[in-house]
């Protein structure tokens, strides 16, 4: 969170966010019980967190491997500014693309993809190659995939 939002987050908001990250389907009454406030007060806080853009949505966490997408790869794409918008459009329309980051360093973009097979990954790499040169790393294992922020630790930091 940026410093702009930091002042609006108090310990009760942090507790609400922590609980919602653990279980987004929790009822307002149960959430209120867990954070020690009334249900109307908690509902109002949740509404304000949503309006401020701190809560962006509520989602089911899907396991790609359970759906047959067992290959995870990071593709570094080096391209020219003329292709930046095209790369963004490609990433948005390609279902295997899970993340696309415009980065500093040697590459222009780092793209995280999930694929059903190496052939599926090869097709994606070939499609991306029209925008520039690619370098791909395939994940052999993913020992840590964080789906929640440690809000207590992150919000308190100044660095």
Picking from 93-102, 124-133, 136-145, which range would have the lowest pLDDT averaged per residue? 136-145
| Structural domain includes residue 35 | yes
Going by DSSP bridges, is the β-strand pair 109-115/71-79 parallel, antiparallel, or unpaired?
A: antiparallel
Find the radius of gyration of the CA atoms of the chain.
20
Q: What is the pTM (predicted TM-score) of this model?
A: 0.81
Tell me: do 71 and 119 sit in the same domain: yes
Residue 8 shares a structural domain with residue 25: yes
pLDDT tens, residue by residue, 140-159:
999 988 888 888 777 765 55
Q: How many domains does the chain have?
A: 2
Based on the fold, state whether residues 123 and 106 are members of the same structural domain. yes
CATH no. for residue 124?
3.30.70.920
């Amino acid at each position: 969170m940026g410093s702009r939002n930091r002042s609006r987050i108090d310990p009760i908001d942090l507790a609400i966010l922590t609980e919602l990250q653990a279980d987004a389907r929790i009822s307002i009454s149960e959430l209120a019980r867990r954070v020690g406030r009334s249900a109307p007060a908690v509902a109002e806080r949740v509404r304000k967190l949503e309006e401020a853009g701190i809560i962006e949505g509520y989602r089911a966490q899907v396991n790609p491997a359970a759906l047959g997408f067992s290959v995870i790869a990071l593709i570094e794409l080096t391209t020219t500014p003329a292709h930046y918008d095209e790369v963004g459009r490609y990433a948005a329309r390609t279902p295997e693309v899970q993340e696309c980051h415009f980065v500093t360093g040697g590459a222009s973009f780092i793209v995280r993809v999930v694929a059903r097979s190496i052939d599926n990954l090869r097709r994606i790499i070939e499609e991306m190659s029209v925008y520039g040169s690619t370098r791909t790393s395939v994940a052999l294992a993913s020992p840590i995939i964080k789906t929640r922020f440690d809000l207590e630790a992150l919000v308190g930091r100044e660095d």
